[in-house]
Amino acid sequence: MGNILISGVNLIKEYGTDFKTRALNEVTIDIREGEFTSLIGASGCGKSTLLNMMGALDRPTEGQLFFNDRDFSVMSEAELAGFRNRSIGFIFQFHHLLPEFTVLENVLIPTWIESGTVNLKKEKRAIELLETVGLKDKIRNPSGNLSGGQQQRVSVARALINDPYIVLADEPTGNLDSESTEQVYELLRKINAELGMAFLIVTHDRHIAEKSDRIIEMKDGRIISDYHSGDRTPEAIWNQIAPVNCKYRHREGEGGCGEHRVCMPGTGRTKC
Ligand SMILES: Nc1ncnc2c1ncn2[C@@H]1O[C@H](COP(=O)(O)OP(=O)(O)OP(=O)(O)O)[C@@H](O)[C@H]1O
Ligand SMILES: [Mg+2]
């Protein structure tokens, strides 16, 4: 097992003043170097809130966060912004590319933000990354001309340009068709294996969860289960956290029955 990279201790996050919503309720979590982790749970359970805390996009109401033993709470907003740009890659459901800029320029944006300039070394790295994500022939195209799946692959390359320790992804395939979804999963796993950075991925998709080293499940602002693949198959893990039986037995490629949040084709098992 790798060393601990990000550590959250008794994290509480409350939104609102008069009427408070507790989005995180005493969450303690460690993410290790190189680990490929899925974060799952029903809508509103606090997944994005936790991801935003781990990425220093927001501060907890109570509790502590450490990155390689560095305490986030003593860092100023400017220090946090610099740290985020250098050390963490972000991928969101909507890719947030600048459509009129080329694919290559979009990948280089974090570099411009960090140093106000782009050197040849970084440009070479951006081209290598675009090759890794299968888009080398598109580097001079405006990103707005690409398909949804291709644009998301550009955002994967952009997340990697500063060689982050960890990539945080919030439903990275939530807006894609099933073929592009599969391509993006394969890509994330390949990057994890080849480049060794950790991934924490919020997903509603069983296939991503099954490809993970670890599955963390949340409910009502708390972590209710934390499974490492280790000696069990990913499917066994999924079955354990998907205890509700669905009367329909869907086949691979069919949609769910609409009654359940996620239906597992062929098994009748559901995750509600
Ligand atoms: N900026 C905010 N202001 C007030 N309440 C918020 C805010 N952001 C999130 N919440 C509340 O915090 C809770 C957790 O929200 P969060 O977005 O983390 O859930 P989620 O698990 O990511 O859900 P989804 O799967 O729908 O994206 C919800 O009750 C939500 O309404
Ligand atoms: Mg969310």
pLDDT at 36: 93
First to last CA, the chain: 31
How many domains would you assign to the chain? 2
The model's pTM is 0.83
Protein residue with least CA distance to atom 17, ligand 1: 48
In sequence order, what are the residues at sequence separation of 6 or more whose Cβ sits closer than 8 angstroms to the Cβ of residue 123? Answer: 104, 108
Ligand 1 site, residue 44, Cβ cutoff 6 A: yes
Ligand 1 site, residue 157, Cβ cutoff 6 A: no
Protein residue with least CA distance to atom 11, ligand 1: 23
CA gap 159, 171 in Å, rounded:
14
Protein residue with least CA distance to atom 4, ligand 1: 15
pLDDT at 93: 80
Ligand 1 site, residue 28, Cβ cutoff 6 A: no
Same domain, 182 and 251: no
pLDDT at 243: 45
Question: In the numeric block, which tokens belong to residue 88?
Answer: 């963490």
The 10s digit of each residue's pLDDT in 171-209 is 888 877 788 788 888 888 989 998 889 999 998 877 777
**R_g of the chain computed on alpha carbons:** 19
pLDDT at 228: 82
pLDDT at 6: 94
43 Cα to the center of ligand 2, angstroms:
7
Same domain, 254 and 230: no
With CA atoms as reference, report the closest residue to 168 among 43, 38, 7, 15.
38
Same domain, 231 and 252: no
pLDDT at 161: 92
pLDDT at 15: 94
Count the Cβ atoms, other than its own, within 10 Å of residue 138: 19
Same domain, 45 and 137: yes
Same domain, 142 and 172: yes
Give every residue of the chain whose pLDDT is below 70, as ranges: 1, 230-272
Beta bridge partners of 223: 218
pLDDT at 86: 86
Same domain, 87 and 212: yes
Domain of 17, in residue numbers:
4-241
The 10s digit of each residue's pLDDT in 118-152 is 889 999 999 999 998 899 999 999 999 999 889 99
pLDDT at 269: 57
- CATH number of the CATH domain containing 131: 3.40.50.300
